[in-house]
Structure formats: structure tokens, C-alpha cells
Amino acid sequence: MNAIDSVRDILTRNMRQSGIVIAFIAISVLFAVLNPNFLSPGNLTNIVLQYSYILILAIGMVMIIVAGQIDLSVGSVVALTGAVSAVVVVRNGMPWYVGVIAALVVGALVGVWQGFWVAYVGIPGFIVTLAGMLLFRGLTFLVLDNASLSPFGGIYQDIANGFLNGLLGGYGFDVFTLVVFAIGVVGYAIGQWRTRQGKIAYQQTVESMPLFVVKLLAVAALVMWFGYQLSISRGLPVVLIILAVLIIAYTLITQKSVFGRHVYAVGGNVHAAELSGVKVKKINFWIFVNMGVLASVAGIVYSSRMNGAQPGAGNMFELDAIAACFIGGASTTGGVGRVGGAMIGGLIMAVMSNGMQLMGVPQSMQQVVKGLVLLLAVAFDIYNKRRASVAR
């Protein structure tokens, strides 16, 4: 396969994923042209800090959507778990890690509650989580006694606001940050090489070697440039490490584990999955437990970022997480979607929000733009499905 054919194959083999990467680059370039401060080290750092909790929610949400379900309660769970943590740490003066553990336990219990009703009682996830959205928001008000609670301070506040820098020195930039990003690039390159060799072993089509190398170099250059921008700002954000660990872990779970394959099977065709021996109820139960835990992680990060808990925290977060998944390539009918795609979708939402804020676009217009982008992403998904069915 020559280089031109390879490029065409990459762009058309998965139009949804290719298109979303191109869209992300185009939107970033547009805002960089409109506002030079957009790509400044300080602003890039702020994007990581301000939207990390949405990306964490999107990791769990994409698994829910792939399985053919939906979760409308995650914003309220973010508020509830942050409130529980605040009561433990701020009001009762307990150590920061006790608050973290309490939030994680509450998130897991929320997941068990909702997973039970969906998996074993048979109520659709839309209804269960709609009820949960109201239930957990009400509990948040009760836990906080209708008042905000702050400040956390100390280590808890550093979860979302702390940085690792100076560990390996550096003059004008943080060497440790660059080393971490370089390790990530090497890991990505090794993973891509192994994937390529696996496809060759099964006699599948792969891009030409020159194009493969160019792709790796382009990704490496972009990642290292981003790492350098962080290194000359405040160093490596702690929350970025948390996010990276979750992305790697859930990418492996969804693509390499039996549980992950079963999630895709349930979303693709639940009846065929049952006939194949997949324990559908168990899968549905655990994806909601997982979502509850990840929502609690997002709650910890958000309350840390805000340095307190508020009854109205997490409002509309569920819509941002769902939009990130659909924009990133998840299918409205289930069975399709990847963690990486959801991350790109989430970054598009983050870049649009940040760029419009820098330009002084009113909040009302920002919501209009986000709604249109989500609508176009779903319309594109339906168009691709119809085109594929016609081709068959």
C-alpha cells in the first residue's frame, strides 16, 4: 500500500474518529488565531485544571453509553460526594484521606443502588438515573444543610490545584514534566508498534512504514510541545497524573479485558450477548457501580478545585460528559465508542468553552454553540450508519 492509499485508508476506515481529531485541531487553531493567549502556557494549564473532572466523568459515561444505557445523575453524584468529603474534612476536622475514602465509598454505594434497579429490577437506566439526579441533589442539600462548606486547604486542595515541579531541576522549565511526557510518548510508540505487528500477523491492512513513522513523530512532537508548555508554566499538574492513570487503565479494561468485550457485546446486541453466555445483568450492574466510583473521583477533584462544597455543584456536568462521548464517536444505539474518542470529545468541549470565554462570548451563546456541535455529531453518526447500511 503506497502513502496516498494509506492516508485515504486512515481517513476513511473510521471516519468518525478521523473527523473528530481533525475537528479538534481545526478548533484549536481557530481560537489560537483569534486569541494569541489561547495557546499560552498559563491558559493550557488552566484548561487541564478546569475540565479534568468532565474528562473523568466521560471515561465512565462512555462505558455506560457503549452498553446501551445512559446516566443522568453524575452531576448530582459529584455534588453529593464532594459534600460528604467536605463534612468529613472541613466540618469534622478529619484527615484529607478520610474524606477521599468517604467520597469513594458513597460513590460506590450510589452505583450499587442504581445498578440494582437497572440490572436486577429491569427499570431503564434513563428513568433510574433521572430519579437519581433528583434524589442525590436533594441529599446534597441535606448533607450541607443548604449552605456551602469551605475551605479544605492542605493536601486535599492540592489534589486538583497542586503541581509536581523541581524534582529533577531545570532552568526556566521543569525537567521532570518533560521526562514524564517523554515516557508517555515512548509508551505510545511501543503500543502502536505492537498493534501494527499484531495486524500484520493476522494479515490485516496497515499503513506504509514511512507514514507510520510520520504519524508517530507528529504525535510525539505535539505531546512534547504540550509538555514543554506545562513545564514553563507551573510544572506537571497532579490532576493530570490522575487523569492519565485513569485513561490508561480504562483503555486497557475496555479493549483488552473480557469485561470490556462483554460491555461492547451487550451494547451491540443484548440478545446475542445473552445467547453467547454473557451475564448481561452482571455487566449492567458493574458499569453503574464503576460510574458511581468515577463520579466520586470527579467530585473529589471538583471540590478540591473549588476548595469547598456547594449544594449546586456539578450542575449540568452530566450533559457535558454525555456530549463528550457522542462528539468523540460513541453511538446513540450502543456498541460503539472508545475512551480515547471520549477524551478528544471532552477536549473539544473544553477548548470551545475556554476559547469562547477568552473572546468574551456570553454564556448563553456558549450553550447555543455546544448544543449545535452535539446535534451535528449525532447527525453525523446517523449519516454514517445509513451510508454503511446502503453499502451492504
Q: Please tell me the distance from the alpha carbon of residue 155 to that of residue 159, in angstroms, as a whole number.
A: 7
pLDDT, tens digit, 9 for 90 and up, residues 48-77? 999 999 999 999 999 999 999 999 999 999
Better-scored residue on pLDDT, 98 or 22: 98
Three cell numbers at 59?
471515561
Query: Tell me, what's the pLDDT at 93?
Result: 92
Type of residue found at 318: E
pLDDT, tens digit, 9 for 90 and up, residues 137-174? 999 999 999 999 989 988 999 999 999 888 787 777 88
Mean pLDDT of the 37-46 span: 92
Of residues 50, 43, 49, the one with CA closest to residue 238:
49
Query: Tell me, what's the pLDDT at 157?
Result: 93
Q: Please tell me the distance from the alpha carbon of residue 230 to that of residue 261, in angstroms, as a whole number.
A: 36
pLDDT, tens digit, 9 for 90 and up, residues 288-331? 999 999 999 999 999 999 999 999 999 989 999 999 999 888 88
Query: What is the average pLDDT value for the chain, to the nearest integer?
Result: 89
Q: Please tell me the distance from the alpha carbon of residue 106 to that of residue 148, in angstroms, as a whole number.
A: 19
Query: Tell me, what's the pLDDT at 62?
Result: 96
**What CA–CA distances, in Å, run from 387 to 13, 247, 250, 358, 382?**
13, 31, 31, 39, 9
In this prediction, residue 385 has a pLDDT band, given cuts at 50, 70 and 90, of low
* pLDDT over threshold 80, residue 391: no
Q: Give this prediction's pTM.
A: 0.91
CB distance 70 to 331 below 8 Å: no
* pLDDT over threshold 70, residue 11: no
Query: Tell me, what's the pLDDT at 17?
Result: 57
DSSP 8-state symbol, 95: -
Q: Please tell me the distance from the alpha carbon of residue 214 to that of residue 318, in angstroms, as a whole number.
A: 37
Query: Tell me, what's the pLDDT at 100?
Result: 97
pLDDT, tens digit, 9 for 90 and up, residues 77-97? 999 999 999 999 999 999 999
* pLDDT over threshold 90, residue 392: no
Domains in the chain, please, with CATH? 3-165+234-391 (1.10.3470)
In this prediction, residue 6 has a pLDDT band, given cuts at 50, 70 and 90, of low
From 76-80, 213-217, 367-371, the region with the lowest mean pLDDT: 367-371
3-state helix, strand, coil in the chain (%, to 5): 80, 0, 20
Query: Tell me, what's the pLDDT at 377?
Result: 76
Residue 142 neighbours by CB distance under 10 Å = 11
pLDDT, tens digit, 9 for 90 and up, residues 114-137? 999 999 999 999 999 999 999 999
